[in-house]
Copies of this chain bind each other. A is one copy, B any other.
Amino acid sequence: MTDNTAASRPAEKVISSAVIKRLPRYYRYLGDLLKNGVVRISSKELSQRMNVTASQIRQDLNNFGGFGQQGYGYNVEYLYQEMGKILGLDQVNNIIIVGAGNLGQALANNQDFDTNGFRIIGLFDVNPKLIGMTVKGVEVYDIDQLEEFINSHDVKIAALTLPKAKASAIAEKLVELGIKALWNFAPVDYDLPEDVLVENVHLSESIMTLSYRIHSKDQ
């Protein structure tokens, strides 16, 4: 086994966002292989399953030290664990959800998050009908309790599942309260300090991309 683990990779190395976006997919495939009792896999076989080239897999993983052995391939469990460390999934990542409507509740109910080290620890809303209810055991709090909650919990990520009109003000407030990572579902681009990470899920843009592909195919 190589000792080029994630921890030993040079800090200055910049990994392209295209590579980063592929990592969770590797992690998902490796998790499925592990569940099916597969102990080791060649880059060729992994590439056929994932429908990417073997050379891309090797290149992608070489960014983090390689993990493979000539003639052996990859040890599935080891690679799965190392990928998990690279993705920060070996730690508990506490998430709060601001906006407890259907979408916020859908995130709170998503079982995939649990199994991957993410823990929803609170939902927040302005709607008195939602405040006090629980979603999968997690309470919906009044948005006025946001500051107190953040100050007394280790919140890594805030998901924004609230209407566009309120999104910017809440995002700014969250950043003021020390949140450094936003998982944003509102169709808004924020003007926030550079060290704040924003990962967007723009549903309208996704469905429009699909619509474009449908209609350009017809022409």
Contacts and interface: CB of A to CB of B under 8 A. Distances in A.
A113 interface: yes
A112 B187 contact: yes
A207 B187 contact: no
Contact of A214 (B27, B50, B103, B180): B180
A103 B111 CA distance: 13
Interface stretch (A53-61, A88-96, A125-133, A143-151): A88-96
B204 A203 contact: no
A109 B116 contact: no
Contact-residue bracket for chain A: 35 or more
A123 to B, nearest CB: 12
A178 interface: no
Interface of A is mostly: helix
B20 A213 contact: yes
A148 B124 CA distance: 41
A219 interface: yes
Most B C-beta atoms less than 10 A away, residue of A20, A24, A89: A24
Interface string A198-214: 01011111111111111
Nearest to A201: B206
A209 B199 contact: yes
Those 4 A-B pairs whose CB atoms lie nearest each other, nearest first: A88-B215, A102-B106, A24-B205, A24-B208
Most B C-beta atoms less than 10 A away, residue of A88, A109, A189, A195: A88
B181 A210 contact: yes
Contact of A25 (B105, B157, B195, B205): B205
B212 A88 contact: yes
A50 B188 CA distance: 11
Contacts of A95: 207
Nearest to A23: B212
A141 interface: no
B21 A209 contact: yes
A15 interface: yes
